[in-house]
Amino acid sequence: MPFFEFRGARMHYIELDEREDRSKGLDIVFVHGAGSSRLIWSLQLIHFRKQHRVIALDLYGHGESEKIDDHPDVIRGFPEQVSALVEHLGLVRFVLVGHSMGGGVVMSYVLNPSFRQPLAIVLADTTSDLDLRKLIVGLVIEALEDHSPKQDFSHLEDELEKYILPDYQKIAVSFDRTILRDLDACDDFDVTERLHEISIPTLVVVGEDDDIIKPKRAKALADAIKGSQYAIVEGGDHSPMVEVFENFNAHLERFFSWLETEHLA
């Protein structure tokens, strides 16, 4: 499994690239949310691996990435880890995709001009003021729900089923110091007054039944980012990339295609 070092900690990520022509496609970096890991993006990694180079990171203290006790437990430390991964892999034509807290990480990243900047960003089920303690009831409900897809795998190849299904048992949020640190980090996060500084192509996407980041909050985020695109994932809750992955993937696929064929052409 691939690792890189960040401030003395071993950071884990997964990378898939099965493009026939590697001159085509983009480098897509997926950033998970609070209490989660790179496993939440399994269905996106598999779907896009033949069109793009896809990468998903375990943030510090999550998944298989190490935790160091004296590491700053604030959200601004997470973008530094993403930047370290970008530099480690030498990414140039890349897109950042962030879910929930990961969306805050992505916004913080692009608002730091010292980082190598992406071509575009995708903000999934997130907002510019992640005061998630006010939404703790919704967080508990989401964490206790089964993160199994609402669609079956009957149309996928056998090897993909073997890749995906065992991992879903590991996705559930663990209510330990990790989730508490994540909530503290979210409480410190508010970039509402800086959204006008984001000038790269942006897709804001949200599950239509999301009780944590309601669609009207996601729409307000999209409205505040000039030129952004906005999409509601039909049938999705707070984790549409798992719950209704085909609908979620379709929105990303259209955005990536637009980037390559129109915006970057």
Determine the pLDDT at residue 159.
47
Phi and psi for 142 in degrees, rounded to 5?
Answer: -65, -40
Between 9-13, 147-151, 240-244, 252-256, the lowest mean confidence (pLDDT) is in 147-151
Residue 148 has pLDDT above 70, yes or no: no
Residue 190 DSSP one-character state: B
Pairing outcome for strands 9-16 and 27-31 = unpaired
> Distance between CA atoms of 60 and 190, rounded to whole angstroms?
21
Determine the pLDDT at residue 211.
83
Residue 118 has pLDDT above 50, yes or no: yes
Which residues are within 8 A (CB) of 237 and not within 5 positions of it... i.e. 6 or more apart? 142, 145, 207, 209, 210, 211, 243
> Distance between CA atoms of 5 and 190, rounded to whole angstroms?
28
Residue 229 has pLDDT above 90, yes or no: yes
Residue 172: pLDDT band with limits 50, 70, 90: very low
Report pLDDT digits (tens) over 126-139: 999 987 655 666 66
Higher-confidence residue: 67 or 245?
245
Q: What percent of the chain has pLDDT over 90?
A: 58
CATH superfamily of domain region 3-263:
Alpha/Beta hydrolase fold, catalytic domain (3.40.50.1820)
What is the DSSP annotation of 140-189? Answer: HHHHHS----SS-STTS-HHHHHHHGGGGGG-S--TTHHHHHHHHHHHT-
Closest to 126 (Cα-Cα) out of 189, 181, 52: 189
Half-sphere exposure of 169 (CA within 13 A, CB side): 4
Average pLDDT over residues 193-204: 97
Report pLDDT digits (tens) over 7-26: 888 999 999 999 999 889 99
Q: How far is CA 162 from CA 64, 156, 157, 166, in A?
A: 20, 10, 9, 7
> Distance between CA atoms of 247 and 243, rounded to whole angstroms?
9
Pairing outcome for strands 3-6 and 9-16 = antiparallel
Higher-confidence residue: 151 or 5?
5
Report pLDDT digits (tens) over 34-43: 888 888 898 8
In which region does residue 187 sit, left (phi positive, over 0), alpha (psi from -120 to 50) or beta (all else)?
Answer: alpha
> Distance between CA atoms of 117 and 83, rounded to whole angstroms?
9
Which residues are within 8 A (CB) of 33 and not within 5 positions of it... i.e. 6 or more apart? 40, 98, 99, 100, 101, 102, 103, 125, 126
Domain segments of the chain: what residues?
3-263
Per this entry, what is the length of the chain? 265
Report pLDDT digits (tens) over 50-84: 999 999 999 988 888 887 665 444 566 899 999 99
Determine the pLDDT at residue 75.
61
Pairing outcome for strands 53-57 and 9-16 = antiparallel
Average pLDDT over residues 244-257: 96
Q: How far is CA 217 from CA 133, 206, 222, in A?
A: 16, 9, 9
Determine the pLDDT at residue 152.
58
This prediction has a pTM of: 0.87
Determine the pLDDT at residue 26.
96
Q: 226, 197 in Cβ contact below 8 A?
A: no
Q: How far is CA 203 from CA 79, 130, 187, 206, 212, in A?
A: 19, 18, 24, 10, 19
Residue 223 has pLDDT above 60, yes or no: yes
Determine the pLDDT at residue 131.
77
**Chain centroid to CA 166: how far?**
21
